[in-house]
Structure 1
Amino acid sequence: MAVSIGTSLVVTFLVHFKGAMPPERLHISILLPVVAQNVVATAGGVLYETMHPNLQTFNLIAAFLCWANGMALTGWIIALYLWKLYTHKIDLGYNSGFAAFIPIGAFGQGAFAILLITDSFTSYVTQHNPNFLKTTDPYGTSLPDLAMVVGEGVRYLGFFMALFLLSNGFYFTLHAILCLIARNCRGYTSAWWSASFPLGAMALGCREVWALFDLGAFRILSGIYGVSLIIVTLMSLCGTALFDFPHEDIWRPRSVILSKVEALEEGSNETQ
């Protein structure tokens, strides 16, 4: 978690610090360091139940702070990216279609994280009934159900926030597919790997909506994204093994390799 936070903050600062970037060359890959904060927020929601009660409050606050900062940075970067698309149009370079999948991961992971955080908050207030929720009515009678009401309200607030993020994920999924069709991408490139994490993040976000609120449509959507993830990952593995793996260097006779190394050394000595 510390590495993810450090990566997000330091790399984002370096992007701001190192040199100017022409507007037409603005690339959505600058969003990648920011996604790390959403991953940390997700980890906080996943690890909530395993923590000591004294640490659960701090865990929820830290996870929400990471999620809030990550989604704020995501919104600003996506706004710049859309401005670039409207003013300089879509770059139909060979890898641009697959790079268009990157925003999907930020929205899917953000939806998954906020669902886990709000559900953990609901568990926290119903189990521990913190002091700030203990109150009485005008007649002095305590209101023991206030914690449950607040917890459920926060959980449904997280539900609507997750729907907002998933809706953006659905839009950018269609956008990425249309970019691939417009570019007429054929054949394998290493850029295929950029689609694996976003598809998996959307699958997790949709599945969590189904698990918490029993909406069958999101179970189907989760299955579609999950199957797409498996297909893309298997094709990427096969493509890497067939095209990126240095077969010739491994199976080439040792004498040929040594002769090439000697030729390179002689050339370097001559230049010196």
Structure 2
Amino acid sequence: MIKSHKNKSIILFLSLVDNFNPYWFVTVMGTGSSSCILHDFPFPGLWLRICSYVMFGICAFLFITLQTALVINILRKVYFKRLRIPQIFYGFFIKSPTNLYWGTYSMGICSIINYIFLILKSSTNTTNYERSNTFIIGIYVLWWAGLILSLIVAWGLTILHWKFNNKNDTSFLKTPIYLLPVVSIVVICSCGAQITMSDLFIYQFNRNVQLLTLVIIAMCWLQAITMVFLVTAVYFWNLYVNGMPDMVSNTSTCFLCVGPMGQGSYGIQLLCSDVVRYIELHYLDTTTTLIAISFFKILGGILGLWLISCGLFFVIYSVSSIFLFINKTKIHNYQKSWWAMPFPLGTMALSTKELWVQYGAFIDIRAFRIISVFFAILCIGSTMLCLIGTCNHYIFKQPIRKKDYDINITIEHIICKHDEG
């Protein structure tokens, strides 16, 4: 009985590994975003922070599990299926839409970096800055690694897709899936803007490092938001020509358009706030300085509000696309495309809350705090729903064909056969 259960577990694991797709790193994005929102909820509470620890534990478990599955998947392809490196490279980085899903990988890492910084920030006060030196340096190094990875994903995969794209296949134009690699830059910029000019960062790094980081974040944000609107324009063109998507998997992915708007708004508000603080710290209090501070404060508010309004439109469009075809699709059945909802909704929660935090002292905009709570609940609720649906559909009800897997072929057996050969 025990042996039978063990064999079934191994078969299930091999089945999940062989069917691995980088798309599943979207689970890390969703749980990571939810954990950050729970940690800094618009109406904070100790129990919410405790819940954020649990959610981040799930996020870390998913990341480690998926990373392990990726490594084993490559090993099985090399040692068991005898695939060459170019074949593996083609399957992961050139074949569509698999290559586009690597954007979820870099964004998932960004979510983890964000939460680690929030933990460090909340557990540090003015008396123990020196103890946190190593940690803030480590987070800064992780951010640079995330930035390089995001640029490779956004620029590298986009260029590869342009080069090797099947020009006769226009099916993917029906979804905004091409935004995935590009949004990774927007996310890492928001992450950097959150870290830069924080008390810990200012204490550890000098003025030159602060300025260099701010300039790089600004350049990357501007480039990324330009690409976002170019890709969105192509998607809009398809909507005008071919109409709205009529499949449940396509309608769910409409939420992908919300992500860069909410995250872009959050990032530019943080960036402008960082510039304001940089000016206050390193320049004399003159009329020119006051004008510069006012300019960046207003600029952040206008651009942030603009992108929030675009995000709200895409939320309404996404919900409408689902309900307009609710009779044609089995909307109640779980689809893995549901994972396209949590992270974008989370970005709207973050951006609307940040608008209230930065400008609530000047004007009465408490409504944005309520809106932030609304999106936060939707993000966390959809994350929990997707987690339950994923476990139920892909683990407990995973169809296993035993003939496809020889239970005697374990990793050790494969390595032994390779050594003998």
Task: Call closer, same or farther: CA 1:39–1:89 in 2, change over 3 Å.
Answer: same
Deviation at 1:148, TM superposition (A): 2.6
C-alpha contact (below 8 Å) 2:245/2:321 kept by paired residues: no
The 5-angstrom pairing of residues 49-128 of structure 1 reads 49=197, 50-51=201-202, 52=205, 53-128=207-282
The whole-number CA distance in structure 2 between the counterparts of 1:109 and 1:103 is 11
Letter in structure 2 aligned against 1:189: Q
2:192 to 44, 57, 74: 44
C-alpha contact (below 8 Å) 2:153/2:181 kept by paired residues: yes
Per-residue CA distance 1:162-215 (angstroms, 9 max, x = gap)? 111111100000000011112212221111111111001111010100000012
Equivalences, count? 246
Deviation at 1:237, TM superposition (A): 0.6
Matched residue SS, 2:178: helix
Deviation at 1:126, TM superposition (A): 1.2
2:169 maps to 1:169: no
Matched residue SS, 1:183: coil
Per-residue CA distance 1:119-159 (angstroms, 9 max, x = gap)? 00000111101xxxx7xxxxxxxx72321321121111111
Matched residue SS, 2:235: helix
The whole-number CA distance in structure 2 between the counterparts of 1:201 and 1:166 is 10
2:378 to 228, 240, 254: 228
Larger radius of gyration, structure 1 or 2?
Answer: 1
The 5-angstrom pairing of residues 147-186 of structure 1 reads 147-184=289-326, 185-186=331-332
C-alpha contact (below 8 Å) 1:40/1:66 kept by paired residues: no
Match of 1:7 in 2: 153
Letter in structure 1 aligned against 2:381: I
Matched residue SS, 1:91: coil
Deviation at 1:230, TM superposition (A): 1.0
Letter in structure 2 aligned against 1:96: N
C-alpha contact (below 8 Å) 1:102/1:198 kept by paired residues: yes
Matched residue SS, 1:101: helix
2:390 maps to 1:240: yes
Match of 1:29 in 2: 177
Letter in structure 1 aligned against 2:191: A
Deviates more, 1:145-154 or 1:33-42: 145-154
Percent identity for Structure 1 against Structure 2: 24
Per-residue CA distance 1:204-231 (angstroms, 9 max, x = gap)? 0101000000121111111110000011
Deviation at 1:44, TM superposition (A): 1.9
C-alpha contact (below 8 Å) 2:255/2:318 kept by paired residues: yes
Match of 1:140 in 2: none
Deviates more, 1:215-224 or 1:46-55: 46-55
Deviation at 1:22, TM superposition (A): 4.9
Task: Compute the TM-score of the two structures, normalised by the length of structure 2.
Answer: 0.55
C-alpha contact (below 8 Å) 1:101/1:172 kept by paired residues: yes
C-alpha contact (below 8 Å) 1:125/1:148 kept by paired residues: no
Task: Call closer, same or farther: CA 1:21–1:111 in 2, change over 3 Å.
Answer: farther
The whole-number CA distance in structure 1 between the counterparts of 2:186 and 2:398 is 41
Task: Call closer, same or farther: CA 1:157–1:247 in 2, change over 3 Å.
Answer: same
Moved over 4 A (4+): 21-25, 246-250, 259-262
The whole-number CA distance in structure 2 between the counterparts of 1:211 and 1:149 is 22
Deviation at 1:54, TM superposition (A): 2.0
C-alpha contact (below 8 Å) 1:125/1:147 kept by paired residues: yes
2:366 maps to 1:216: yes
Deviation at 1:12, TM superposition (A): 1.5
2:348 maps to 1:205: no
The whole-number CA distance in structure 2 between the counterparts of 1:29 and 1:110 is 17
The whole-number CA distance in structure 1 between the counterparts of 2:170 and 2:397 is 40
Letter in structure 1 aligned against 2:220: C
The whole-number CA distance in structure 1 between the counterparts of 2:353 and 2:389 is 29
Letter in structure 2 aligned against 1:171: F
Unaligned runs of 5+ in 2: 1-146, 410-421
Deviates more, 1:144-153 or 1:55-64: 144-153
Task: Call closer, same or farther: CA 1:17–1:248 in 2, change over 3 Å.
Answer: closer
C-alpha contact (below 8 Å) 1:203/1:223 kept by paired residues: yes
